[in-house]
Amino acid sequence: MSTILAKMRQLINQLKAHNHAYYVLDNPTISDNEYDQLRQQLINLEQQNPTFIQADSPINQVGDKPLPFFSQVHHQIPMLSLGNIFNLEDLQNFFRRVNERLSEQYKNPDYEVELKLDGLAVSLIYQHGVLTQAVTRGDGQTGEDITQNVKTIRNLPLVLDDTSIERLEIRGEVLMPKAGFAKLNQQAEQNGEKTFANPRNAAAGSLRQLDPNIAKNRPLAFYAYSVVQGLPNEISTQFDALMWLNHLGFTLSDIKLVNTANELQDYYLSVIDKRPNLPFEIDGIVVKVNDLDLQRQLGFLSREPRWATAYKFPAETVMTRLNAIEWQVGRTGQLTPVGKLEPVNVGGVTVSNVTLHNIGEIERLDIRVGDMVSVHRAGDVIPKVTRVWTDERPNKTEPVTLPNNCPVCNSPVILPDGEALARCTGGLYCPAQQQEALIHFVSRKAMDIDGLGERWLIIFHELGLIHNVADIYDLHKQRDELVKIEKLGEKSVENMLTAIENSKQTTLPKFIYALGIRGVGESTALNLAKQFGDLDNLMRANLDELQKTPDVGEITADAIVEFFKAKHNLAVIERLIKAGITWQKLSNETLGNQPLDGQSWVITGTLTSMGRDEAKAKLQALGAKVSGSVSAKTTTLLAGEKAGSKLAKAESLGINIVNEAEFLVMLNG
Ligand code: IVH
């Protein structure tokens, strides 16, 4: 089989399957726009290769056959479809084509414009003013009799004031307003039932219920858009026909008369703006020649009227090719895969990047570089890949794997067990993470460099004066540069450099915490310091040894090992030590049994001789655990001035209570 023919057969089979899902099962497997794109591919192939056109090509068919269990009704006047246009140029061409077919005196006619409602087309027949039949579009020739269900729609007149017309046939759209749809789905979810993908499916599903009591409880509405039989002779325009229907009691969507393409374009753009606030979903506007005689003159081309067209909104789901995947490193070292797309207009905006979230999502989608993908974007929502067209996958593609090394700093990348996001291990060194690492490093519970706040750190980093935390201790060499910075006088620089100098005398737990290893918070840092006694031991520890430390599980142990494996981190640590950072060796007492081992303390009220953090550190250094709330497990409450509810609770539980003076005696003793 030729490749063109093979491609045609593939498209025909896909379209048939989608038609079946859409028309028969009310459960579309792709969006309308994706469907249109597939259909357009087939149309193009058929136009270029007319001899290959397949007898079963769905191009000249409106839809699939209806389900057998509703009775079938032949439409006296077929229910046709509309052509589509997408931009101002298409619109101007449409106007031109209309003009070409009209004689001089009728050129540049008025157009009536309506919203293109996203529901289901239904034809209603009134005999002498009584609704006798409601029929779905079906395949355009034959539809299903859904009269019982349609009669339950509340905004629809069942009997008209005017009973003189023998047979009136009007057409319009049955839809489910967004609010009713949301409520219906919410209820379905609560009852553990299947939810509907969108309001159109919900409306379709409701109309296809054999039991009209179900439809009755669904929030459906009918909007009229044309009269195909029974219109009084004196009415000569689409606009007046709709106004007449309105007087009979039918609901209309927004309607408007325009005369030029520019005027129409303005309206189109204003509707795009209004779209999110409309009570129902629309997918474009419909442009109709207003004069009914001119409509008749223009007639139809195959199954579409020449006098009307659908001016669709930009597609919200579009197919395009994934050209590459780039891994971006976030401020905390997380690696996020970003799909680089063949640029494409989605929902009116050109999209060339799309987040793929994480390696798990890539595996779930089974996405590969070179694949055709569907990209969805609605309103201001971030675009996302909703589908990968694996059928269309080019030869020789490879599954996507996580990079072994950070694309920014080349440090090893790890994916901790049970976590979705991979991370770069070059915490101290990686340029992508530097600002975050710097801010953490100087913070109070870390190196506590008071005079060097977040604001200046970021400025220094952006000026290139510092890159990583070791550079902080070289800042004194750049005193001349520093004093030149706006709003940073000699005095502040002096204070800053003194604070940096003072920070060199620290404690091992604070230093470990300052390194910013993932999962190593203040108390884990303290436990690690106790467990290993000095930095060298910690740096050499293996996974098993690390996991013997209280608080340290597999993930944290892994992060520690990886951190100290990264050469760049080691270089930074070496510079820090060389710069003179020191701490007192932990005493034997600290390493061995400590006086408060096994005790659980709570601090409350105001202490006068020290801050709470300091008191906490002192208690921890003596082996106590310090927690935030009093419970039966609390052994002692340290109560400062103005202690309140915690004191009362401790008293009621009979817990040992110590005041500040007693605490100081205990520390000194
Ligand atoms: S007029 C011969 N007006 O769009 C043309 N159709 O793509 C008859 N639709 O099957 C259609 N809003 O379900 C018309 N204001 C509107 C419409 C509308 C939605 C739907 C209708 C039709 C489909 C054609």
Q: Tens of pLDDT along 134-172?
A: 999 998 999 999 998 999 998 999 999 888 999 999 999
Transcribe 124-163 into DSSP letters.
EEEETTEEEEEEE-TTSSEEEB-HHHHTT-TTS-SB-S--
112 CA to middle of ligand 1, Å?
13
* Pairwise CA distance, residues 290 & 287, whole Å: 9
- Position 215 scores a pLDDT of 84
Q: Which residues pair with 583 in a beta bridge?
A: 506
294 CA to middle of ligand 1, Å?
19
482 close to ligand 1 (CB < 6 Angstrom): no
Name the residue of 39, 86, 117 to mutate for ligand 1: max ligand atoms within 8 A of Cβ: 117
The number of beta carbons lying within 10 Å of the beta carbon of residue 346 is 23
* Pairwise CA distance, residues 587 & 593, whole Å: 11
Name the residue of 77, 114, 116, 170 to mutate for ligand 1: max ligand atoms within 8 A of Cβ: 116
What's the Cα-to-Cα distance from 582 to each of 68, 161, 212, 546, 588, rounded to whole Å?
85, 95, 82, 23, 18
* Pairwise CA distance, residues 575 & 321, whole Å: 47
- pLDDT tens profile 351-361: 999 999 999 99
173 close to ligand 1 (CB < 6 Angstrom): yes
Strands, sheet with 130-136, edge to edge from the N-terminal-most edge strand: 130-136, 120-127, 167-175, 221-229
* Pairwise CA distance, residues 555 & 82, whole Å: 59
What's the Cα-to-Cα distance from 455 to each of 85, 436, 442, 458, rounded to whole Å?
53, 12, 12, 5
Characterize the bridge pairing of strands 372-376 and 317-329: antiparallel
CB-based burial label for 301 (10 Å; 0-12, 13-18, 19+):
exposed
186 CA to middle of ligand 1, Å?
29
Q: Which atom of ligand 1 is nearest to the CA of 121?
A: 13
Residue nearest to ligand 1 atom 1, measured at CA: 225
Name the residue of 286, 292, 309 to mutate for ligand 1: max ligand atoms within 8 A of Cβ: 286
CB-based burial label for 633 (10 Å; 0-12, 13-18, 19+):
exposed
Reported in sequence order, the residue ranges of 308-395 that DSSP labels E, i.e. its strands, are 308-312, 317-329, 334-346, 349-355, 372-376, 384-388
Catalytic site positions: 116
- Position 592 scores a pLDDT of 52
Residue nearest to ligand 1 atom 7, measured at CA: 82
Pair 307, 301: CB distance under 8 Å: no
Q: Which residues contact 374 (CB under 8 A, 6 or more apart)?
A: 30, 31, 34, 317, 318, 319, 385, 386, 387, 388, 389
117 close to ligand 1 (CB < 6 Angstrom): yes
- pTM as predicted: 0.57
- Gap between the terminal Cα atoms of the chain: 95
AA identity, residue 231: L
Q: Which atom of ligand 1 is nearest to the CA of 118?
A: 19
Question: Three-state SS for 344?
Answer: strand
* Pairwise CA distance, residues 504 & 275, whole Å: 61
Q: Which atom of ligand 1 is nearest to the CA of 253?
A: 15
Q: Which residues pair with 73 in a beta bridge?
A: 143
80 close to ligand 1 (CB < 6 Angstrom): yes
116 CA to middle of ligand 1, Å?
7
114 close to ligand 1 (CB < 6 Angstrom): yes
Name the residue of 173, 303, 309 to mutate for ligand 1: max ligand atoms within 8 A of Cβ: 173
Compute the Cα dihedral for 417, 423, 428, 429 and give only its sign: positive
- Position 398 scores a pLDDT of 93
Main-chain phi, psi angles of 198, to 5 degrees: -160, 170
Residue nearest to ligand 1 atom 21, measured at CA: 121
305 close to ligand 1 (CB < 6 Angstrom): yes
Residue nearest to ligand 1 atom 13, measured at CA: 121
Pair 30, 312: CB distance under 8 Å: no
AA identity, residue 545: E
Question: Three-state SS for 116?
Answer: strand
121 close to ligand 1 (CB < 6 Angstrom): yes
74 CA to middle of ligand 1, Å?
19
Q: Which atom of ligand 1 is nearest to the CA of 305?
A: 2
214 CA to middle of ligand 1, Å?
26
Q: Which residues contact 296 (CB under 8 A, 6 or more apart)?
A: none
81 close to ligand 1 (CB < 6 Angstrom): yes
What's the Cα-to-Cα distance from 289 to each of 296, 306, 510, rounded to whole Å?
10, 9, 78
Give the residues of the chain that fall short of pLDDT 70: 1, 23-26, 60-68, 379-380, 586-593, 669
The number of beta carbons lying within 10 Å of the beta carbon of residue 234 is 7
What's the Cα-to-Cα distance from 395 to each of 215, 230, 323, 366, 370, rounded to whole Å?
49, 59, 14, 15, 9
